[in-house]
Chain A
Amino acid sequence: MNNKGGNSLTFTCAFTFVVAACSLLYELLIAQTVAHLAANTVVWYSVTIGTYLCAMGLGAFLANRVFKGPSRWHSLFTVEILLSLAGILIVPLIHFGHITYSSLYMEDVTGSSIPAYVFFGTAFLIASVVGMLSGLELPLLIAAGKESSSAPYTTNRVLTADYVGSLAAGLLFPMVLVPHVGLVSIGILIATLNLVMAGLILWRLKKSEPILLRGALTTVLLGLSCFAFANVKPVQQFFLQKYYYYMLSEPGFAGIFSRPEGARNVERWSSPYQKIDLVHDDTSSDNPAIINSFSNKFIAEPDFPRDRFLFLNGDFQFASNSEEIYHEYFAHLPMIINGGVPESILVLGGGDGLLIRELVKHKTVRRIVHVDLDRKLVELAKEHPVLLSMNKKALFDPRVEEIFGDGFTWIRNTDQTFDAIYIDFPYAVDYNLSKLYSREFYHFVSRRLKPNGFTAVDTPGVGMLSDPAPDGTQVLLPDNDWSIYYHTMKAAGFKSIIPYVTTLDINDPQIYENLSPLVSLADLPELPADAGDPAEAEAYFKNMMIRDALVQYMVSLQQGFIYLSNRKDVATGQYIELPVQRYVLNEKHYHLAFATSFPKGNKVNLNKVNSIMKPRFPTLPLTYVRLPF
Chain B
Amino acid sequence: MFYACSIVLAFCSIVYELLLGQSLSAFLGNTVLRYSVTIGLYLLSLGIGTTLAERSKVRERPVIALARVELILTLVGGGCVAVLFLVSFLGLPKIVFSLFAHFLVLFIGVLTGYELPLLLEAKARSGKQSDNALIGFNYVGAFAGTIAFAFVFYPWLGLLTSAFIAGILNSIIGMILALSWLQENGQKPKEGWLVFGGHLVMATVLVFCVTRNTQILEWLLGMYLGA
Report yes or no: B138 in contact with A46, Cβ–Cβ below 8 A.
no
Given A169, A430, A439, A612, which contacts B31 in the complex, CB threshold below 8 Å? A430
Cα–Cα, bound, A57→B10 (Å) = 13
Report yes or no: B29 in contact with A28, Cβ–Cβ below 8 A.
no
The segment out of B48-56, B120-128, B185-193 that lies at the interface is: B48-56
Report yes or no: A42 in contact with B139, Cβ–Cβ below 8 A.
no
B36, CB-defined interface residue at 8 Å: yes
List which B13-41 residues lie within 8 A (CB) of chain A. Answer: 14, 18, 22, 25-33, 35-41
Given B28, B30, B221, B225, which contacts A273 in the complex, CB threshold below 8 Å? B30
Chain B residue with Cβ nearest A155: B54
Map CB proximity to B onto A297-316 as digits: 1 under 8 Å, 0 otherwise: 00000000000000000000
Report yes or no: A432 in contact with B39, Cβ–Cβ below 8 A.
no
Given B22, B39, B47, B157, which contacts A160 in the complex, CB threshold below 8 Å? B47
Report yes or no: B47 in contact with A57, Cβ–Cβ below 8 A.
no
Report yes or no: B29 in contact with A46, Cβ–Cβ below 8 A.
no
Given B14, B39, B40, B154, which contacts A42 in the complex, CB threshold below 8 Å? B154
List which A614-629 residues lie within 8 A (CB) of chain B. Answer: 614-615, 622
Given A42, A50, A272, A606, which contacts B22 in the complex, CB threshold below 8 Å? A42
A401, CB-defined interface residue at 8 Å: no
Chain A residue with Cβ nearest B32: A174
Which of B36, B150, B154, B225 has the largest count of A CB atoms less than 10 A from its CB?
B36
Given B151, B154, B221, B224, which contacts A615 in the complex, CB threshold below 8 Å? B154
Report yes or no: A43 in contact with B225, Cβ–Cβ below 8 A.
no
Report yes or no: A50 in contact with B143, Cβ–Cβ below 8 A.
yes
Report yes or no: A56 in contact with B154, Cβ–Cβ below 8 A.
no
Cα–Cα, bound, A572→B216 (Å) = 39
List, in ascending order, chain A residues with CB within 8 A of B157's CB: 614
Cα–Cα, bound, A19→B48 (Å) = 19
Chain B residue with Cβ nearest A41: B31
Report yes or no: B51 in contact with A160, Cβ–Cβ below 8 A.
yes
Report yes or no: B51 in contact with A159, Cβ–Cβ below 8 A.
yes
Cα–Cα, bound, A146→B210 (Å) = 49
List, in ascending order, chain A residues with CB within 8 A of B32's CB: 32, 41, 45, 173-174, 178
Cα–Cα, bound, A406→B34 (Å) = 15
A541, CB-defined interface residue at 8 Å: no
Report if A24-B40 is in contact (Cβ < 8 Å); known contacts: A54-B139, A174-B32.
yes
List which B144-173 residues lie within 8 A (CB) of chain A. Answer: 144-147, 149-151, 154-155, 157-160
**How far in angstroms is the closest Cβ of chain B from A433?**
9
Given A42, A47, A159, A431, which contacts B47 in the complex, CB threshold below 8 Å? A159
Q: How extensive is the interface on chain A, given as a class?
A: 35 or more
Cα–Cα, bound, A505→B44 (Å) = 62
A611, CB-defined interface residue at 8 Å: yes
Report yes or no: B43 in contact with A50, Cβ–Cβ below 8 A.
no
**How far in angstroms is the closest Cβ of chain B from A37?**
15
List, in ascending order, chain A residues with CB within 8 A of B76's CB: none
Cα–Cα, bound, A431→B158 (Å) = 12
Report yes or no: A57 in contact with B138, Cβ–Cβ below 8 A.
yes
List, in ascending order, chain A residues with CB within 8 A of B25's CB: 42, 431-432
A325, CB-defined interface residue at 8 Å: no
B197, CB-defined interface residue at 8 Å: no
A167, CB-defined interface residue at 8 Å: yes
Report yes or no: A53 in contact with B143, Cβ–Cβ below 8 A.
yes
List, in ascending order, chain A residues with CB within 8 A of B14's CB: 50
List, in ascending order, chain B residues with CB within 8 A of A50's CB: 14, 142-147
Report yes or no: A170 in contact with B31, Cβ–Cβ below 8 A.
no
Report yes or no: A611 in contact with B158, Cβ–Cβ below 8 A.
yes
A211, CB-defined interface residue at 8 Å: no
List, in ascending order, chain A residues with CB within 8 A of B146's CB: 46-47, 49-50, 53
Chain B residue with Cβ nearest A432: B31
Report yes or no: A163 in contact with B43, Cβ–Cβ below 8 A.
yes
Report yes or no: A57 in contact with B37, Cβ–Cβ below 8 A.
no
Cα–Cα, bound, A7→B160 (Å) = 49
Cα–Cα, bound, A169→B47 (Å) = 15
Given B44, B135, B225, which contacts A57 in the complex, CB threshold below 8 Å? B135
Cα–Cα, bound, A613→B81 (Å) = 9
**How far in angstroms is the closest Cβ of chain A from B130?**
11
List, in ascending order, chain A residues with CB within 8 A of B147's CB: 46-47, 50
A570, CB-defined interface residue at 8 Å: no
A61, CB-defined interface residue at 8 Å: yes
List which A443-469 residues lie within 8 A (CB) of chain B. Answer: 443-444
List, in ascending order, chain B residues with CB within 8 A of A408's CB: 29
List, in ascending order, chain A residues with CB within 8 A of B87's CB: none
Report yes or no: B35 in contact with A45, Cβ–Cβ below 8 A.
yes
**How far in angstroms is the closest Cβ of chain B from A263?**
29
6 contacts between A and B (CB under 8 A): A43-B150, A45-B35, A51-B143, A54-B140, A409-B29, A432-B31
- Complex A-B, nearest 4 residue pairs according to Cβ-Cβ distance, in ascending order: A170-B40, A57-B139, A50-B146, A614-B158
